[in-house]
Amino acid sequence: MTTNNPTNPDDSLPLKGLRILDITVVWAGPYSTMQLADWGAEVIRIESTKYFAATTRGQMARPPQGVVDGGTSTGMGYAWREAGERPWNRHAIFNAHARNKLSMTVDLTKPEGQEVLERLVEKSDGLIENNLPQSMDKQGIGWDRLSKINPKLVMIRMPAFGLDGPYRNYRTWGNHMESISGHPLIRTYPDLSPEYAPAGVPADAAGGIGAALGMLMGRRYVRRTGKGLMIEAPTAENFVPLLGDFVMDYSMNGRLWNQMGNQHWYLAPHNVYRTQGEDAWVTIVCWDEDQWKSLCEIMRMDSLATDPRFKDNESRYENRKELDVIINEWSQDRQASWIMDKLQTAKVPSGIVMNERDATEDRHLHEREFFSSIEHPEAGTHKQVRTPFKSGNHENVGARRAAPTLGQDNEYVYKTVLGYSDDQYDEFERNGHIGTEFDPSIQ
């Protein structure tokens, strides 16, 4: 499609001309359209002022200040710690991934909203959604209908577990898909109850990358066959291969690995150790005898190198708890960055466990121009990441325009893309499709 994408005036970006409709929520779906928007695709987020999808533009549309104060920097990460007049424009999660995307609003529960959707589908190359199948059904968003409107469409559907099967309409987030897939039970602490299991959502991250890849492959399929394509990318199915090693060991040997914590399957040392300062840690690993000898030397513990308890990897693994105590005693009074540099110089794998401050100030990321600053009209100027990989032909592709405020691009989408007249636009506005604020009834 020819586009005049206001977020991409630069004609040279690779995905210029590709128009993608974005009906994504929370993290996995939005992370996929982030990849495409960064590389120049015109990504149009289809939003509604009548419906607030939790954890997309915040957990709540209008969180009381008390909730914001008590919340975390993720869930309740509002600019200047204030929800403000329009909290949905100031939320960290959304503003981190939605840069370079456009936002339009339409009420799909009304017939004329459905007409807008049809026009959008007609004029787009792809659509990505990650919703509960039954909520898409209710809004009439399905392959049979959309592929009739645009036979060359690529539609990526990212339900949690699939478009069919007994879990079809089981609503979960990434962390629940992971618990079903076995991840938290494998990674949690060896000596503590699973009640201490950590949260995490690498499933969402992999889902986002996979759907972006799926869109590019889908477009290639369309070019070669002249036919559209629906790709089903259930987040859980996409994630399970990341546990492939465990699947194979169970499959081949009936073995289960649970509550591993930071232990390796067979290497030692392989852990995280306390260092000087508050909540400061360093990782240390040895996978060969040279690294082990270097570590002993740097710790000035030559006797350790000849200690029969640690004489080879097998012995070290068996006695890893004792070994970890010894390394911890050494590391706890030293600086993490000193340990990392010292060990790395001797070719021993080691690294700071970086907090958010360490990452945003890291010298390596700085030199590779990983961050660049951009101003958001309602949230201030902050650092944004560039794309997760560097291209030699297109240097430092990253944030060109800050995340869109709700409905920011309504005029462009309705008038320029869809060709509605000024009068028609006003009518859409009167009928509650076009707006920049969530309905006051939404908390």
Partner 1 sequence: MVGIMPLDDVTVVDLTHYTAGPFATRILSDYGANVIKVERPITGDPARMLPPFYEDEPGLERSGLFLWLNTNKRSITIDLKKDEGRDLVLELVKNSQILVENFSPGTMDALGLSPTKLLEANPKLIITSLSNYGQTGPYRDYIGNELNLYGMGGSMIGAGNVDHEPLKTAGRMVNYHAGYVAALASALGLYTVEERNEQGDHIDVSIFETATHSIDMRLNRLMGYQYTGRLAGRQSQASAVGSGVHPCADGYFLITGGARFIPNIIKMIGMDELLDQEEWSTPEGRAHPDRIDEFLPHLIPWTLARTKEEIRKEAEKHAVLGGPMNTIEDLMNNEQFIDREYFQEIDHPETGPIKYPGYHFTLHRGEDQPMPDRNRAPLLGEHSEEILAEIGVSKSEIEKLKTKNVI
Please report, as residue ranges, which positions from 300 to 339 form the binding site for partner 1 (by CB under 8 A). none
Closest to 384 measured CA to CA, from 375, 372, 366, 396 = 372
Site size for partner 1 (CB under 8 A):
166
Per residue in 75-106, is it b (16+ CB within 10 Å) or e — as a string?
Answer: bbbbbeeebeebbbbbbbbbbbbbbbbbbbbb
- Dihedral of alpha carbons 233, 235, 239, 240, sign: negative
Span interacting with partner 1, options 42-50, 101-109, 211-219, 416-424, rule CB under 8 A? 211-219
Cβ proximity to partner 1: between 168 and 311 the closer is 168
Pairing, β 19-23 against β 42-47: parallel
CB of 2 vs partner 1, minimal distance in Å: 14
Residue 221 in the binding site for partner 1 (CB under 8 A)? yes
Span interacting with partner 1, options 117-125, 134-142, 205-213, 423-431, rule CB under 8 A? 205-213
Span interacting with partner 1, options 2-10, 27-35, 134-142, 303-311, rule CB under 8 A? 27-35
91-94 long-range contacts (CB < 8 A, ≥24 apart) are 91/57, 91/58, 93/27, 93/55, 93/56, 93/58, 94/30, 94/56, 94/57, 94/58, 94/403
Give helix 202-225 / helix 174-181 axis angle, nearest 10°. 100
Cβ proximity to partner 1: between 58 and 113 the closer is 58
Span interacting with partner 1, options 2-10, 121-129, 248-256, 421-429, rule CB under 8 A? 248-256
Residue 161 in the binding site for partner 1 (CB under 8 A)? yes
Q: In sequence order, what DSSP letters do the residues of 307-353 get, joined into one string?
A: -GGGSSHHHHHHTHHHHHHHHHHHHTTS-HHHHHHHHHHTT--EEE-
* Dist. CA 169–CA 22, nearest whole Å: 21
Taking the alpha carbons at both ends of the chain, their separation in whole angstroms is 38
Choose which of 49, 105, 139, 188 interacts with partner 1 (CB under 8 A).
188
Residue 176 in the binding site for partner 1 (CB under 8 A)? yes
Span interacting with partner 1, options 301-309, 314-322, 361-369, 430-438, rule CB under 8 A? 361-369
Within 255-274, the residues that bind partner 1 by CB under 8 A are 255-258, 260-262, 264-266, 270-272, 274
Choose which of 106, 268, 379, 399 interacts with partner 1 (CB under 8 A).
379
Residue 374 in the binding site for partner 1 (CB under 8 A)? no
CB of 425 vs partner 1, minimal distance in Å: 33
Choose which of 9, 122, 148, 194 interacts with partner 1 (CB under 8 A).
194
